[in-house]
Structures are given as C-alpha cells and as structure tokens.
Structure 1
C-alpha cells in the first residue's frame, strides 16, 4: 500500500509518495532535509563568492533547492545537477563544490530527486564538464562557468537583484586597470610576492579561473618582470590566506586576497 505526503511551507512545497513502511523509515531523514531547506529559506542576506565576476554584493533574497528547481524547470537528472550547482554557487556561499555537495542538494529536492540520479551522478558530471556546463577546477572540485552563472542568476533573481555588481567600492573597475598600474598603485615594484598576487588578481578579473603558476609568470613576463622564485611567492601568498589551491597545480584568489588589492584610477 502506498501513501503520499504533501507539505507546504511558504514558497516551499514537498511531495513524497511511497510505501507506508518506507515513509516510516525515511521520515526522520526527510524532516532533516526539510529543516535544512527552511534554514536556507529564512536567511535574509546571502553573500555570494562569485569570484569570476568581481566583488560580490549582498543578495536580499534566497531560494531553497525545490524553488530553484521549479524556476529552472527541472525535468531530469542533468537539470537537477545544474539546479543544485546554481543553488550552491548563488545562495550557498561556495565558489566551488564537490560531487557530494551536489548530491546533498539533489537529495534535498524531494519533489524532483530519483535514486537513479545518484547512481549516475559521476557520469553525468563528466558529461557536463565535457559539454562546458561545469568547470572541473581540480582536486575533486567543480564550478559553474561565469556566463552560465550569470544566466542562472538572472533567471533565479531577476533584473532587480544581482550577485554580479558592476559598481565596485570607490567606483573601482578592475578590468580597466592594466597590470603594470595595479603593481604600482599597490607599491609592489620591489615586492615579488606582491607582484605575484597582483598578477593573480588581474588574471582572475580576466576570467582565468583557476590558474597555474605559469599563467602568472607569463602575465608578468609581458611587462619584462621575472620572478626569482615564483613557487615561493605562491606559497607565501597561500600562507597569508590570499591564495587557495584547488589542485596540486592550480589555485584561485581568496576574498582576503582580493581585499588586499587596492585600485585607484
């Protein structure tokens, strides 16, 4: 005999159907998932670390995974992976995520999730990275391409809300500042660690995410700047918390690293 549960809380609606025994056994886990979703729904301000766009602004709105899935018209496993990635990236304060992060969100989408989606998740992720829907940033982490992320945030937040602010502090527009000026403004002319950070920040704003040491040294070489020990510069910036490794050879600038760079036109 089958039973059906329908729970509606604000904008969230949960539909679950299965055997009575299964519902009894899984009810605690189901309520735990609902509790987690409500905690997200009750947040008033969500800060997004949408690193590839520039400085992120606060979003006065948040959506649970079921609401995200509904807005994105999820129909299959691939759609649910994308919806989960959007939920994590836009509302979850994560610049990158693992397959476990995705699966956790997918399972929370009780109105859409099927167990077969979990079984096929790794294959689905591999296909989506090959298609350019997801970025494989190394170390078991993935991210959404910047254009994909912008399109999703438009659908989920609309024109009145954005996590991609064009108005930077002090009217700063990072992409308009050349690297050579960035180094000078920050007083890094004689500071190789600072030059490395400035180049990393500059490349981030150009969309090179993640990057390798060779990307940084190449950018500096165009200015006739050669680092004595690029690896040491990288490690010192990591120690300061300005750079974070996402794989053995790739890294990104952290929020603290971005805050350490000043730009004045």
Structure 2
C-alpha cells in the first residue's frame, strides 16, 4: 500500500514538472505572465571603427535613426558663433520584448561620431584612426513601446579622443542628460542631470525617469562638451548633441 502511494506521488511530481517545462517553453509564466518575454536579442557593436563605418555608409537598423536629432558644433571660446560639423549617426536595435497582456517593447542604441582637425576645421574622415585631430562620440540607449507611443531614456555613454596631443589638450569635459514630457502614468517630468567626467563616461538615468509620451514637444537626450586648448592660446568648445522628439533650436541645451 505504501509502495502504491509512493508510485502515485512520483507520477504526480513528474506530471507537474512536465507542465512547468511546457509552460516555460511556450512563454507562459505564473502570476498572470507578469514578466516581459525576450523574443529577440543581439550583442551590441561597440568597436568605434565598425560603428564609424556603419554611420559613414548610412547603415542603421531602423529608418531615419528613429528621428533622433544629431548635431555637432565647434564654437570659439567667448563667442556665440557656432560652426556646424558633420555628424555620423547609426542606430542599433538590440532587444525586443513581448509585454504582459500584449504589446512590444523595443530597445535601441543610437551613436553619434564627429571629428575635427586641430586647426578648427571639420573633415570627413574615412577611418576612426590615429591620423590627428580630436574626435567625440556618444551613444544614447532608449526603449520604445506601445507602437512607439511611449519612450524611455535608459543610459548615455561616450567620450573624446585627442590624437593631436601635445599640440592641443582637452579640458572641462561636461555631459548633460535631459528629459521633458508627460509620463505614461500621468504627471510631468522636466529634469536635467549634469556631470563632469574626467575621461570617457557612462551614466544611467535616474530610476524615476520612466516612460514619457512620444510627442514632438517632448524630448530626451544627451549633450556633451569639451574645451580644446591649442598651444597658440586659442580655445574652442566641441559640442555634440543627441536628442529625440525636440523641436527647439538647441539653445535650451546650453551647458
């Protein structure tokens, strides 16, 4: 009799395990499927040479880089005149999630790269190499959901490379993150975070910077600035801007 009960118990355990494995395999979870299910994921390209080649050849995983506005400027110190620089941009789609109750969440990384000569002019480099000049790059990580109805700024990272040292030096590195708009759960967010890195950087956005409505008057993004100081005493500011959804002129992003 005891052996019969043991066999029955063993069969019950096996059936429960099979149900659990089958449910997991088909994407079902306990508690009403409360967790997103990853349906696509790939490793991000981080090599600067490869990213620069993608950007120069206009290779991107999405059309128009999700309408990210990318701008680069060179500004003489104590002057309001800005010299526009060519910005190379590429976007990677690196993760897609199926959300509980339906819907899709997509994750992107948009990278900007610019380069100038130490003389202050801009040039279209064919390679991200050590041929001289100062280079700046940044990447913003963000997600879109609800058929791109809502947007979330996750992280910004980047840096500067000086191939003309000691003819020129870099100083006063600055990074600014901003977010403005109506949050998914209601209420307005209008915040800025400023950082002063001493070298390359990577900053996550605050945890309360949740999804905002994707609207032309709403925005999120990153602006970076570095001073370029030449041995002849001239000083310039190199500005790289990366933002989504904004319709302003850019002056509001002044660091």
TM-score by length of 1: 0.25
Q: Which has the higher strand share?
A: 2
Computing the radius of gyration from Cα coordinates, the structure with the larger value is 2
